[in-house]
Amino acid sequence: MTVDSSAARQPRRSAADKAGKTGTGARSGRSGTASGATGTKRTTRTAAKKSAEPELVQLLTPEGKRVKNAEYDAYVAGITPEDLRGLYRDMVLTRRFDAEATALQRQGELGLWASLLGQEAAQIGSGRATREDDYVFPTYREHGVAWCRGVDPTNLLGMFRGVNNGGWDPNSNNFHLYTIVIGSQTLHATGYAMGIAKDGADSAVIAYFGDGASSQGDVAESFTFSAVYNAPVVFFCQNNQWAISEPTEKQTRVPLYQRAQGYGFPGVRVDGNDVLACLAVTKWALERARRGEGPTLVEAFTYRMGAHTTSDDPTRYRADDERAAWEAKDPILRLRRYLEASNHTDDGFFAELETESEALGKRVREVVRAMPDPDHFAIFENVYADGHALVDEERAQFAAYQASFADASEGGH
């Protein structure tokens, strides 16, 4: 896995190739798309998936059985029962927070919510692999990663309530603000990583994006730049099978992780519902970056169990049996099975976690409902550092518009 400093200019064998050689990893990444099957009918897609389950790095089976992996076991070798319970707690509390936010949107307390349901392992595994001095560039769905970075979950809700433009200081936790323009944060991450390299620091950067975003030019550009400059960045693509109503088949003809090969860096597909595998593979990729070996693409193969956002109705474009198949691979359930089978937990642990979960839900509800409305004119702040004539004009127009309501009410309406 060691690559010398001139590696950026040398064609390299990908980790997937190596994994294939040792028979342990995600080499072929067979999927319904690899054979060119691009059927758009729901039944065709489901059938293709059933007949060709993709190969991926997995340490915990859906039944909660630990399987050996010669390449990645080393990255979780020191994990203790307490660490495992910690990962379980992270996933349970993240799911609870997410469910609470969805409910708050339904009650009219949030304008919108993008649920992470089903993606807890991908986010907690990769998030816990990061070091405090690493820098994280999320999309809009990385609530589990935010949790791992120590961002108070209630801070994630201000933007979705429409009371602020972000809600946290990115530099407090090295966790950038949520980015809605899909894929653009991969460029920010690449630039930041190039800066880290120039500073001579051994920190790394991780950029999250989705299967849909993988089609954006920004992602292609960031792959090119990071490869050529050997930037210490991990591209963590959560392939949750859908980009709103578009299936992954509409984004690519090859498994996404294989795209890295064309840019000259390794790509690995990991079971995104296996928190241990996500932890191990992300640690490996971050350590490569720290050693100056450049970028890695990690494709976490997972599933968006819920709607794209609370504005979406997935029953219009996907079949129920697809969700049912993924429910059997639930990330929380599989770790619970493993913990129980290993006698790492007792009933007291689960009961305490339930109490903690209830308390989190209560706090989230209370904090959101108490969020003050912003000053109406705050939207004109922070557009330009030194102001701008056009913004001044718009502010004046808005002030006149607001004043028109005052006139109307004074007029007896």
Ligand X SMILES: Cc1ncc(C[n+]2csc(CCOP(=O)(O)OP(=O)(O)O)c2C)c(N)n1
Residues contacting residue 50 through CB under 8 Å, at least 6 positions apart: 325
- Near ligand X by CB under 6 A, which window of 194-202, 208-216, 320-328, 354-362? 208-216
Q: Which of ligand X, Mg ion, none is residue 228 near (CB under 5 to 8 Å by kind)?
A: none
Question: If binding is defined by CB under 6 A, does position 181 make contact with ligand X?
Answer: yes
Pick from 225, 306, 307, 215: which is nearest to 253 by CA? 215
Give the C-alpha separation, 70 to 24, whole Å. Answer: 6
Nearest CA among 206, 202, 141 for reference residue 175: 206
Q: Cβ of residue 299: shortest distance to ligand X, in angstroms?
A: 12
Instruction: State the minimum distance, in angstroms, from the CB of residue 212 to Mg ion.
Output: 5
Q: Which is nearer to ligand X, 179 or 203 (CB)?
A: 179
Q: Is 413 a catalytic residue?
A: no
Active site residue 388: no
**Residues in region 79-98 near ligand X by CB under 6 A:** none
- Which one from 143, 288, 308, 334 is the annotated catalytic residue? 308
Q: Is 125 in the site for ligand X (CB under 6 A)?
A: no
The site partner of 225 among Mg ion, ligand X, none (C-beta below 5 to 8 Å per kind) is none
For residue 267, what are the β-bridge partners?
A: 297
* 383: contact with ligand X by CB under 6 A: no
The residue (of 154 and 238) whose beta carbon lies closer to Mg ion is 238
Determine, following the binding rule CB under 6 A, whether residue 210 of this chain makes contact with ligand X.
yes
- Answer for the pair 368, 160: CB distance below 8 angstroms, yes or no: no
User: Should residue 331 be labelled a site residue for ligand X when binding is judged by CB under 6 A?
Assistant: no
131 annotated active-site? no
Which CB sits closer to Mg ion, 27 or 308? Answer: 308
Question: Which of the residues 290, 317, 337, 363 is marked catalytic?
Answer: 317
Question: Residues 48, 104, 219, 243: which binds ligand X (CB under 6 A)?
Answer: 243
Q: How far is the CB of 242 from ligand X (least distance, A)?
A: 6
If one asks whether residue 264 binds ligand X (CB under 6 A), the answer comes out as: no
Residue with nearest beta carbon to Mg ion: 210
DSSP letters, 36-101, are T----SHHHHHHHHHH-PPP-B-SB-TT--B---TTTGGGGTT--HHHHHHHHHHHHHHHHHHHHH
Nearest to 194 by CA among 8, 396, 406, 24: 8
**29 residue type, one letter:** G
What is d(CA 336, CA 313) in angstroms, rounded to the nearest whole number? Answer: 30
Strand arrangement of the beta sheet that strand 267-271 belongs to: 135-137, 205-210, 233-239, 296-301, 267-271
Q: How far apart are the C-alpha atoms of 337 and 195, rounded to whole Å?
A: 43
By CB under 6 A, is residue 240 in contact with ligand X?
Answer: yes
Q: Is 94 left (phi over 0), alpha (psi -120 to 50) or beta?
A: alpha
Instruction: By CB under 6 A, name the binding residues for ligand X.
Output: 141, 180-182, 210-213, 240, 242-244, 304, 308
The residues assigned a catalytic role are 304, 308, 317
